[in-house]
Structure 1
Amino acid sequence: MEQRLNLLEKGHKALKAMFGLGNYLAKCSIEKTLQDLIYFRVSQINGCAFCLDMHSKDLRAMGETEQRLYLLAAWRDAPLYTDRERAALAWAEAVTKINGGDVPDEIYEQASAEFSEEELIDLTLAVITINSYNRLNISFRTLAGGYQVGQFEAAAN
Protein backbone atom coordinates (compact mmCIF):
# COMPACT_ATOMS: atom_id res chain seq x y z
CA MET A 1 0.00 0.00 0.00
CA GLU A 2 1.40 3.35 -0.99
CA GLN A 3 0.98 6.56 0.98
CA ARG A 4 -1.24 9.01 -0.89
CA LEU A 5 -0.34 12.27 0.80
CA ASN A 6 1.94 13.29 3.65
CA LEU A 7 0.19 16.07 5.53
CA LEU A 8 3.01 16.28 8.06
CA GLU A 9 5.67 16.82 5.45
CA LYS A 10 3.63 19.52 3.75
CA GLY A 11 2.79 21.28 7.05
CA HIS A 12 -0.78 21.64 5.83
CA LYS A 13 -2.88 24.32 7.55
CA ALA A 14 -5.66 21.79 8.19
CA LEU A 15 -3.23 19.76 10.27
CA LYS A 16 -2.24 22.92 12.15
CA ALA A 17 -5.90 23.36 13.06
CA MET A 18 -5.92 19.80 14.40
CA PHE A 19 -2.81 20.57 16.45
CA GLY A 20 -4.84 23.36 18.07
CA LEU A 21 -7.20 20.74 19.48
CA GLY A 22 -4.18 18.80 20.73
CA ASN A 23 -2.83 21.92 22.44
CA TYR A 24 -6.14 22.39 24.25
CA LEU A 25 -6.28 18.71 25.25
CA ALA A 26 -2.69 18.83 26.56
CA LYS A 27 -3.90 21.33 29.16
CA CYS A 28 -7.36 19.92 29.81
CA SER A 29 -8.78 18.12 32.82
CA ILE A 30 -8.19 14.58 31.49
CA GLU A 31 -4.85 13.04 32.43
CA LYS A 32 -2.46 12.44 29.54
CA THR A 33 -2.13 8.69 30.11
CA LEU A 34 -5.91 8.27 29.99
CA GLN A 35 -6.11 10.35 26.83
CA ASP A 36 -3.53 8.17 25.13
CA LEU A 37 -5.27 5.01 26.32
CA ILE A 38 -8.45 6.32 24.69
CA TYR A 39 -6.53 7.30 21.54
CA PHE A 40 -5.10 3.78 21.33
CA ARG A 41 -8.49 2.09 21.81
CA VAL A 42 -10.30 4.30 19.30
CA SER A 43 -7.48 3.71 16.81
CA GLN A 44 -7.96 -0.05 17.29
CA ILE A 45 -11.65 0.31 16.49
CA ASN A 46 -10.95 2.42 13.41
CA GLY A 47 -7.97 0.37 12.24
CA CYS A 48 -5.53 3.30 12.08
CA ALA A 49 -2.06 1.73 11.96
CA PHE A 50 -0.24 5.06 12.18
CA CYS A 51 -2.09 6.09 15.36
CA LEU A 52 -1.70 2.63 16.90
CA ASP A 53 2.05 2.86 16.37
CA MET A 54 2.19 6.40 17.75
CA HIS A 55 0.05 5.93 20.85
CA SER A 56 1.49 2.55 21.79
CA LYS A 57 4.95 4.14 21.79
CA ASP A 58 3.73 7.18 23.72
CA LEU A 59 1.99 4.98 26.29
CA ARG A 60 5.04 2.78 26.79
CA ALA A 61 7.18 5.91 27.21
CA MET A 62 4.78 7.02 29.99
CA GLY A 63 5.24 3.68 31.75
CA GLU A 64 2.23 1.78 30.46
CA THR A 65 2.63 -2.00 30.63
CA GLU A 66 2.66 -4.27 27.60
CA GLN A 67 -0.04 -6.44 29.17
CA ARG A 68 -2.51 -3.55 29.44
CA LEU A 69 -1.83 -2.62 25.82
CA TYR A 70 -2.28 -6.21 24.65
CA LEU A 71 -5.58 -6.59 26.52
CA LEU A 72 -7.07 -3.21 25.70
CA ALA A 73 -9.32 -4.56 22.93
CA ALA A 74 -10.85 -6.85 25.58
CA TRP A 75 -10.87 -4.32 28.44
CA ARG A 76 -14.32 -5.39 29.64
CA ASP A 77 -12.99 -8.86 30.44
CA ALA A 78 -9.58 -7.86 31.81
CA PRO A 79 -9.19 -6.85 35.49
CA LEU A 80 -6.34 -4.43 34.68
CA TYR A 81 -8.32 -1.20 34.25
CA THR A 82 -9.72 1.20 36.85
CA ASP A 83 -13.37 2.21 37.05
CA ARG A 84 -12.43 5.62 35.63
CA GLU A 85 -10.61 4.00 32.70
CA ARG A 86 -13.53 1.64 32.08
CA ALA A 87 -15.99 4.53 32.04
CA ALA A 88 -13.75 6.45 29.63
CA LEU A 89 -13.30 3.43 27.37
CA ALA A 90 -17.05 2.75 27.28
CA TRP A 91 -17.71 6.42 26.50
CA ALA A 92 -15.02 6.51 23.80
CA GLU A 93 -16.36 3.39 22.11
CA ALA A 94 -19.95 4.65 22.19
CA VAL A 95 -19.01 8.06 20.77
CA THR A 96 -16.81 6.44 18.11
CA LYS A 97 -19.46 3.94 17.03
CA ILE A 98 -22.35 6.41 17.09
CA ASN A 99 -24.45 5.67 14.05
CA GLY A 100 -28.16 6.18 13.75
CA GLY A 101 -28.58 6.61 17.47
CA ASP A 102 -26.98 8.09 20.50
CA VAL A 103 -24.80 7.17 23.45
CA PRO A 104 -26.86 4.85 25.67
CA ASP A 105 -28.04 6.24 29.01
CA GLU A 106 -26.20 3.55 30.98
CA ILE A 107 -22.88 4.55 29.41
CA TYR A 108 -23.59 8.24 30.07
CA GLU A 109 -24.44 7.44 33.70
CA GLN A 110 -21.25 5.38 34.09
CA ALA A 111 -19.17 8.21 32.61
CA SER A 112 -20.96 10.85 34.68
CA ALA A 113 -20.18 8.90 37.85
CA GLU A 114 -16.44 9.07 37.10
CA PHE A 115 -16.09 12.43 35.32
CA SER A 116 -17.25 15.96 36.07
CA GLU A 117 -19.20 17.82 33.38
CA GLU A 118 -16.01 19.62 32.29
CA GLU A 119 -14.09 16.35 32.19
CA LEU A 120 -16.83 14.66 30.17
CA ILE A 121 -16.74 17.48 27.62
CA ASP A 122 -12.93 17.21 27.45
CA LEU A 123 -13.14 13.42 27.14
CA THR A 124 -15.62 13.78 24.29
CA LEU A 125 -13.38 16.29 22.54
CA ALA A 126 -10.47 13.85 22.88
CA VAL A 127 -12.57 11.09 21.28
CA ILE A 128 -13.66 13.39 18.46
CA THR A 129 -10.07 14.49 17.88
CA ILE A 130 -8.59 10.99 17.61
CA ASN A 131 -11.44 9.93 15.33
CA SER A 132 -10.56 12.87 13.08
CA TYR A 133 -6.85 11.99 13.07
CA ASN A 134 -7.73 8.36 12.32
CA ARG A 135 -9.79 9.39 9.34
CA LEU A 136 -7.07 11.66 7.97
CA ASN A 137 -4.39 9.00 8.38
CA ILE A 138 -6.50 6.18 6.95
CA SER A 139 -7.71 8.29 4.01
CA PHE A 140 -4.20 9.35 3.00
CA ARG A 141 -2.58 6.02 3.98
CA THR A 142 -0.11 7.57 6.38
CA LEU A 143 2.71 5.07 6.82
CA ALA A 144 3.02 3.41 10.22
CA GLY A 145 6.15 2.37 12.05
CA GLY A 146 8.39 5.41 11.92
CA TYR A 147 6.92 7.49 14.74
CA GLN A 148 9.28 8.49 17.54
CA VAL A 149 8.02 9.65 20.94
CA GLY A 150 7.71 13.44 21.07
CA GLN A 151 8.10 13.85 17.31
CA PHE A 152 5.15 16.21 16.89
CA GLU A 153 5.54 18.38 19.99
CA ALA A 154 7.46 21.16 18.19
CA ALA A 155 5.13 21.09 15.17
CA ALA A 156 2.07 21.37 17.40
CA ASN A 157 3.20 24.64 19.01
Structure 2
Amino acid sequence: MERISFTEIPQEMMGKLIDLENYINNSEININLLELMRLRVAQINGCAYCVDMHYKELNHLGETDLRLSSLIVWEETNYFTNKERAVLHFAEKLTKLNGKPIADNDYEVIKKHFEKKEIVILTLAIGQINTWTRLMKTFQIEAGNYKVKG
Protein backbone atom coordinates (compact mmCIF):
# COMPACT_ATOMS: atom_id res chain seq x y z
CA MET A 1 0.00 0.00 0.00
CA GLU A 2 1.26 3.48 -0.88
CA ARG A 3 2.58 5.45 2.07
CA ILE A 4 2.79 8.71 0.12
CA SER A 5 1.21 9.26 -3.30
CA PHE A 6 2.67 11.36 -6.10
CA THR A 7 0.05 14.03 -5.39
CA GLU A 8 1.26 14.30 -1.78
CA ILE A 9 4.87 15.03 -2.74
CA PRO A 10 5.51 18.78 -2.55
CA GLN A 11 5.12 20.10 -6.09
CA GLU A 12 8.09 22.45 -5.66
CA MET A 13 10.30 19.42 -5.05
CA MET A 14 8.78 17.36 -7.86
CA GLY A 15 9.16 20.31 -10.22
CA LYS A 16 12.88 20.54 -9.49
CA LEU A 17 13.34 16.78 -9.90
CA ILE A 18 11.44 16.85 -13.21
CA ASP A 19 13.47 19.88 -14.40
CA LEU A 20 16.66 17.97 -13.66
CA GLU A 21 15.29 14.87 -15.40
CA ASN A 22 14.43 16.96 -18.48
CA TYR A 23 17.92 18.48 -18.52
CA ILE A 24 19.50 15.01 -18.41
CA ASN A 25 17.12 13.59 -21.03
CA ASN A 26 17.85 16.49 -23.41
CA SER A 27 21.61 16.34 -22.92
CA GLU A 28 24.13 14.91 -25.35
CA ILE A 29 23.86 11.50 -23.68
CA ASN A 30 21.79 9.10 -25.79
CA ILE A 31 18.38 8.45 -24.23
CA ASN A 32 18.62 4.70 -24.85
CA LEU A 33 21.89 4.62 -22.94
CA LEU A 34 20.37 6.63 -20.09
CA GLU A 35 17.37 4.31 -19.89
CA LEU A 36 19.59 1.24 -19.94
CA MET A 37 21.58 2.67 -17.03
CA ARG A 38 18.38 3.59 -15.18
CA LEU A 39 16.97 0.10 -15.52
CA ARG A 40 20.20 -1.43 -14.22
CA VAL A 41 20.29 0.88 -11.19
CA ALA A 42 16.61 0.13 -10.51
CA GLN A 43 17.45 -3.58 -10.57
CA ILE A 44 20.36 -3.09 -8.16
CA ASN A 45 18.18 -1.08 -5.78
CA GLY A 46 15.26 -3.51 -6.06
CA CYS A 47 12.79 -0.81 -7.06
CA ALA A 48 9.82 -2.50 -8.73
CA TYR A 49 8.25 0.80 -9.81
CA CYS A 50 11.45 1.99 -11.53
CA VAL A 51 12.15 -1.42 -13.09
CA ASP A 52 8.64 -1.39 -14.57
CA MET A 53 9.02 2.18 -15.82
CA HIS A 54 12.45 1.87 -17.43
CA TYR A 55 11.73 -1.56 -18.89
CA LYS A 56 8.65 -0.09 -20.59
CA GLU A 57 10.59 2.99 -21.75
CA LEU A 58 13.33 0.82 -23.26
CA ASN A 59 10.78 -1.45 -24.88
CA HIS A 60 9.12 1.62 -26.40
CA LEU A 61 12.52 2.78 -27.70
CA GLY A 62 12.91 -0.55 -29.51
CA GLU A 63 15.27 -2.34 -27.14
CA THR A 64 15.38 -6.10 -27.71
CA ASP A 65 13.93 -8.63 -25.27
CA LEU A 66 17.26 -10.43 -25.21
CA ARG A 67 19.16 -7.36 -23.99
CA LEU A 68 16.41 -6.40 -21.55
CA SER A 69 16.30 -9.84 -19.98
CA SER A 70 20.11 -10.08 -19.91
CA LEU A 71 20.79 -6.68 -18.39
CA ILE A 72 21.01 -8.13 -14.89
CA VAL A 73 23.94 -10.30 -16.08
CA TRP A 74 25.39 -7.83 -18.59
CA GLU A 75 28.99 -8.63 -17.67
CA GLU A 76 28.51 -12.24 -18.75
CA THR A 77 27.12 -11.41 -22.21
CA ASN A 78 28.39 -9.93 -25.45
CA TYR A 79 25.13 -8.06 -26.16
CA PHE A 80 26.32 -4.66 -24.97
CA THR A 81 28.78 -2.28 -26.61
CA ASN A 82 31.96 -1.17 -24.87
CA LYS A 83 30.39 2.24 -24.30
CA GLU A 84 27.28 0.69 -22.72
CA ARG A 85 29.46 -1.59 -20.61
CA ALA A 86 31.44 1.43 -19.39
CA VAL A 87 28.22 3.20 -18.33
CA LEU A 88 26.82 0.10 -16.64
CA HIS A 89 30.11 -0.43 -14.79
CA PHE A 90 30.22 3.23 -13.70
CA ALA A 91 26.56 3.15 -12.62
CA GLU A 92 27.14 0.06 -10.51
CA LYS A 93 30.19 1.62 -8.84
CA LEU A 94 28.30 4.85 -8.03
CA THR A 95 25.24 2.97 -6.80
CA LYS A 96 27.24 0.65 -4.54
CA LEU A 97 29.63 3.21 -3.03
CA ASN A 98 29.98 1.46 0.34
CA GLY A 99 31.58 4.59 1.78
CA LYS A 100 34.50 4.48 -0.64
CA PRO A 101 35.55 6.88 -3.40
CA ILE A 102 35.44 5.79 -7.02
CA ALA A 103 38.76 4.07 -7.75
CA ASP A 104 40.99 5.50 -10.46
CA ASN A 105 40.71 2.34 -12.57
CA ASP A 106 36.89 2.55 -12.44
CA TYR A 107 36.99 6.21 -13.45
CA GLU A 108 39.33 5.39 -16.32
CA VAL A 109 36.73 2.99 -17.74
CA ILE A 110 34.20 5.80 -18.23
CA LYS A 111 36.85 8.34 -19.27
CA LYS A 112 37.73 6.21 -22.32
CA HIS A 113 34.28 6.80 -23.81
CA PHE A 114 33.09 10.20 -22.57
CA GLU A 115 34.24 13.82 -22.31
CA LYS A 116 34.29 15.54 -18.92
CA LYS A 117 30.92 17.26 -19.41
CA GLU A 118 29.33 13.95 -20.37
CA ILE A 119 30.84 12.29 -17.28
CA VAL A 120 29.31 15.03 -15.14
CA ILE A 121 25.91 14.46 -16.77
CA LEU A 122 26.19 10.68 -16.36
CA THR A 123 27.16 11.09 -12.71
CA LEU A 124 24.17 13.36 -12.17
CA ALA A 125 21.88 10.92 -14.03
CA ILE A 126 23.07 8.02 -11.87
CA GLY A 127 22.51 10.09 -8.73
CA GLN A 128 19.06 11.05 -10.00
CA ILE A 129 17.88 7.47 -10.61
CA ASN A 130 19.24 6.51 -7.19
CA THR A 131 17.14 9.34 -5.73
CA TRP A 132 14.03 8.18 -7.60
CA THR A 133 14.47 4.56 -6.48
CA ARG A 134 14.80 5.64 -2.86
CA LEU A 135 11.69 7.80 -3.08
CA MET A 136 9.63 5.04 -4.70
CA LYS A 137 10.79 2.39 -2.21
CA THR A 138 10.16 4.66 0.77
CA PHE A 139 6.75 5.84 -0.43
CA GLN A 140 5.87 2.36 -1.76
CA ILE A 141 4.49 3.70 -5.03
CA GLU A 142 2.69 0.78 -6.71
CA ALA A 143 4.52 -0.87 -9.61
CA GLY A 144 2.94 -2.00 -12.85
CA ASN A 145 0.84 1.04 -13.68
CA TYR A 146 3.42 3.13 -15.54
CA LYS A 147 2.40 4.18 -19.05
CA VAL A 148 4.90 5.39 -21.65
CA LYS A 149 3.99 8.84 -23.00
CA GLY A 150 3.90 9.42 -26.72
- Following the alignment from structure 1 to structure 2, what is the Cα–Cα distance between the partners of residues 32 and 117? 18
Is 1:60 the equivalent of 2:44? no
Query: How far apart are the structure 1 equivalents of 2:149 and 2:123?
Result: 24
Distance 2:8 2:138 in 1: 16
Aligned position for 1:137 = 136
Give 1:86's aligned amino acid: R
Q: Which runs of 4+ in 1 moved over 6 A?
A: none
Give, in whole Å, the separation in 2 of the partners of 1:150 and 1:12. Answer: 23
Partner deviation per Cα, 1:13-49 (whole Å, 9 max, x = no partner): 2222110111111211210000000000000000000
1:1-157 aligned at under 5 Å gives the runs 2-7=1-6, 9-10=7-8, 12-13=10-11, 14-150=13-149
Structure 1: any 5+ residue segments left out of the alignment?
152-157
Q: Summarize the Cα distance change of 1:150–1:11 in structure 2 as closer, same or farther, 3 Å threshold.
A: farther
Alpha-carbon distance in 2 for matches of 1:100, 1:130? 19
Q: Which runs of 5+ in 2 are unaligned?
A: none
**TM-score, with normalisation over the residues of structure 1?**
0.91
What is the one-letter code of the residue matched to 1:67? L
Q: RMSD over aligned Cα, in angstroms?
A: 1.2
Structure 1 position 73, deviation (Å): 1.0
Matched pairs, number: 149
Structure-2-length-normalised TM-score: 0.95
Query: How far apart, CA to CA, are the structure 2 residues paired with 1:100 and 1:147?
Result: 33
Q: C-alpha displacement at 1:75, in angstroms?
A: 0.7
